[in-house]
Structure 1
Amino acid sequence: MLSANPECGGVRFVWNPPPFHGNIYRIKYQNELLYFAGSSNFSKRGLFENLEFTCKITDLPTINQTEAYINWLLTDNISVNFDKCESFPIVKSVKANRKKINFLKVETKPIINSTIPYLDISLARVDRQQRSNLNAFFGKGRWNRKTGIVIPRDWFEVEIIVDVATTKNPIYPKGDFIAYTDDDLVFPCRTQGDYHKNFRSRDDLKILGHWIKGKLQQKGVLELFEPVTSQTLEEYGKNYIRMYKLSNYDYYLEF
């Protein structure tokens, strides 16, 4: 469905429900406080797939509500500015935990050429997976039935849900396999669940996450505890993992 606004001469794609990306901004300009709601990401997803807009807040009641909400968020019992933190144990814990991941280095790098079959595992749905897949950290934690305690997920924990069309490709791995990466690492992986659609690192879900998010961090497009979005992948330059089949149990991953 197309929606056109004659007053602004624009046309946008509309469907229900569209993913909405919203923020609140308070900007001080020439001793005046200005308030805006929404967001405007000038990317492929921002322009054509998400519901993106920015609206200046002008009516006084909404301005007062916005100001009160922002001030509430910034109170010390709700949030703490990084500048006021002498230490951040959670960040230190995650950084220390990352050092415990021991990747094996490839002794003999696989030779990849045009004769080796491959498929692409799409990550393009990441904006619709804000609490799963690459963003499992923001979803529900693990509930221990015996203790009733919910344990938060690690930021590096990922489990990619592959679309059914890709899982039906005869190249797609079924069960356990060894992954060799384009940066000379090797680690065990597994596909499981219906249609083997759950793609994960075996034994430790953080291993695959370290590889993917580590690359995003090295490129400078992702910071610790940030969600992975379509804009993250666009800035990285790739929104898929290419998987070459070396044998029934060996695959080469590019990202």
Structure 2
Amino acid sequence: MKLLYSNILPLGIEDAQQTIIDCFTEQMSQADRVEIAVGYISTASVNELANMVEKYGIKSICLTIGMYYIEGMPEGSYHTALKLNQKWRDVGIGEIRLVKPFKYHGKLYCFYKNEKPFAAIIGSANLGVIKLEAANRRQYEISALTTDTTEVSAIAEHIEKLKQPLCSANIADISGMPLIREINTALNGIELVTSVPQSNVAFYEQCEASVSFFLQLKVPKADERFLDDGKHFTKSNINVCYAAPRSKRKARDWYETQLTVGSEIYHMDGYPEKNKPFFVVTDDGYWFKAHTTSDNNKQFSAVGDELIMGRWLKGRLAAAGIVKPVNNTAEDRNREGMITQEMLDEYGCDRLLFKKTGQTALDSNGEALDVWFLAFIGNADEAK
């Protein structure tokens, strides 16, 4: 057995000592199959594992995760793992599994060559150790490497038992997975937007609606994102950032969004009057002023900053690991940042709940404005 360490001062690595990540990388470079069973992961560590699998030509890989089915899984990690699982299944090299009947807190890494396990790492380190972030950079771990045939075989056998259907299932086959919403940081520090406590959100959410509407998000399907015939929403609504830039020198901001409301909604009694401001409180705790504009008051937007609504809406999808913000939409030739129907399906919602709470609040001028509750969460099918 060889002890492995974190390298954190004042307990830094000494001569002849090896870090956990260096040992893990060394074993990966020698293996053609890897079996991992851990309690927790992170989005960054899953992406790093995917890169290492490709770099070292791993032919078979299984990642079993032990704590989330009962505790709930961060949505960013969940969607990242779901995509990687599909990729591994498509190319036939492996899968990602979740333990179901109990909380599994072990941390095991087993390495194979030519169908035989030759080394294993056991200790306190979850998968996040292979890609340090702010959250775990100062978290000290201790593990051990064993190459003893008996010990390695026992660890390999244990992981195989954990992969049996009585203990775990493929992540894509699990329904009702409890997800923990990630914090949308795209609105942090944005002028005209304030955060409100969850107790306030809960109050407005529970208010009986005087009127409420479902606002459909109109987006193209993935295979339609290059069709610019005006029928597939590739340059309108929440993808307006892909329309022609207002300036030849500057592309539209990825967060630029238009919420265009259908006539079946804006003609309904109780829908906000054109250019009459109101307050919005969102289901994730943001507060800002909004209004309806344009012909037939069909445009729904924040007051004073056309990016606020996009930062709220697209920021949620980005926080969930479904899409990555694009720095320059003019250079996004593959339109990977375009919001598609498949992305909304993955998120589980393709419309917004817009509810008048019956409450009012004073703006900076002392005027009492209606308060509306705006939610982007839940199953789209349930809203139909």
User: TM-score with structure 2 length normalisation?
Assistant: 0.38
Distance 1:170 1:126, change over 3 A: farther
**Aligned counterparts of 1:151 and 1:195: Cα–Cα separation in 2:** 30
Pick aligned residue for 2:237 from 133, 140, 160: 133
Aligned alpha-carbon RMSD (Å)? 2.3
**Who is 1:197 aligned against?**
298
1:114 CA drift (Å): 7.4
In 2, are the aligned partners of 1:119 and 1:171 still within 8 Å (CA)? Answer: no
**Who is 1:106 aligned against?**
196
1:122 CA drift (Å): 0.3
Task: Could you tell me which runs of 5 or more consecutive residues in structure 1 were left unpaired when the two chains were aligned.
Answer: 1-95, 144-148
Describe how 1:1-255 pairs up with structure 2 within 5 A: 100-102=189-191, 103-106=193-196, 108-109=200-201, 110-113=203-206, 115-116=208-209, 117-127=211-221, 128-143=232-247, 149=248, 151-174=250-273, 175=275, 176-225=277-326, 226-247=337-358, 249-255=370-376
Distance 1:126 1:204, change over 3 A: farther
Distance 1:209 1:97, change over 3 A: closer
In 1, are the aligned partners of 2:187 and 2:308 still within 8 Å (CA)? Answer: no
Task: Could you tell me which runs of 5 or more consecutive residues in structure 2 were left unpaired when the two chains were aligned.
Answer: 1-184, 222-231, 327-336, 359-368, 377-384
Letter in 2 for 1:111: Y
In 2, are the aligned partners of 1:189 and 1:199 still within 8 Å (CA)? Answer: yes
In 1, are the aligned partners of 2:196 and 2:287 still within 8 Å (CA)? Answer: yes
Distance 1:126 1:250, change over 3 A: farther
Identity %: 25
1:167 CA drift (Å): 0.5
In 2, are the aligned partners of 1:182 and 1:252 still within 8 Å (CA)? Answer: yes
Asked which structure has the greater CA Rg, the reply is 2
User: TM-score with structure 1 length normalisation?
Assistant: 0.55
Distance 1:252 1:227, change over 3 A: same
Distance 1:191 1:150, change over 3 A: farther
- How many residue pairs align between the two structures? 155
